[in-house]
Amino acid sequence: QREAQRLAAAEAARRASERRAAEEAARLAAERKAAEARAAEEAAQREARRLAAEEAARRDAARRAEDEAAHRRAAERQAAEEAASRAAARRAADDAAQLERERRAVAEALRQEEQELRIIEQAINRENQRQAVEAARRQAPAPLTHAPVKSPQQTVVMVADDSRVVRVKTGRLLSAHDYQVLTAEDGLDAARQIEGTVPDILVTDVDMPGLDGFQLSRQVRADPRTAHVPIIMVTSDNDELRSQAAAVGVNVVLGKPYPEELLINHIERLMMAQAGR
């Protein structure tokens, strides 16, 4: 009986030991599973962090690439705008240069036209002089005690004025009355022409460059060849100028403006006086 109790106790002790061993094994297995679970969770977290870091790096790289592309586009746009501005400036400079060339061409054309007009005017003067001389030669009558009054076709009238408009206007008036017309651009031009051809009447302005009307009148009166030539001076009408004009030998002073017929009447009267002198 004691043996049976000892065996029963031993059996009970063995079973208790096996139970404890099984419980320990179960605990160890549970701990191992928990450790494996924790390790798996940690690995998953590390992988998640790695993926997040890679995604963040990818996004950062994409953002930098986008910024660089935007900067590149801005630089290209600025370069294009600067190129367009330089091109516009070149076009503006070219246009300005072209306008200046055209202006100079127009000025040169006007200068040449004015020169041609002067040449034509001088040629007309020479032709008028020639025709006046020929007409006077053809129509010269036999010597008389008093010279006959010259006809307008025989009468040479010189118009000295630095205004081309005045020369043309006065020349047209005289030509309309059949007078031979010589025109001079100023006093010096008139003096040069008178050296070659003495006119029958001198119509002169006062204010002219080089040689004014008073100086021209003195020169005409001082030359024996031209001392007899009647002088009509066109100027502002005042007593002082009339006195100066009379002092240098001017026959008639016409104030500006004057009736056209008055000039013709004075020429006719002066030519009649010349014939009776």
91 within some domain = no
The CATH number linked to 244 is 3.40.50.2300
**pLDDT (mean) for 168-183:** 94
- Residue 193 belongs to domain spanning: 141-275
Q: How confident is the model over 126-137, as pLDDT tens digits?
A: 665 555 555 545
Beta carbons within 8 Å of 58's beta carbon, 6+ residues apart: none
Q: Does 44 or 115 have the greater pLDDT score?
A: 44
Decide if pLDDT at 239 tops 80. no
**Chain centroid offset of residue 92 CA:** 12
- Span of 19-28, 106-115, 162-171, 233-242 with lowest mean pLDDT: 106-115
Strand order in the sheet with 231-235: 180-184, 156-160, 201-205, 231-235, 252-255
172 within some domain = yes
Domain count, the chain: 1
- Report the pLDDT value the prediction gives residue 145, as an integer from 0 to 100: 45
Contact between residue 200 and residue 157 where contact means Cβ atoms under 8 Å apart: yes
266 within some domain = yes
Q: Does 207 or 147 have the greater pLDDT score?
A: 207
**How far apart (Å, rounded) are the C-alpha atoms in residues 218 and 202?**
12
246 within some domain = yes
147 within some domain = yes
20 within some domain = no
Decide if pLDDT at 144 tops 50. no
Give pTM, 2 decimals.
0.50
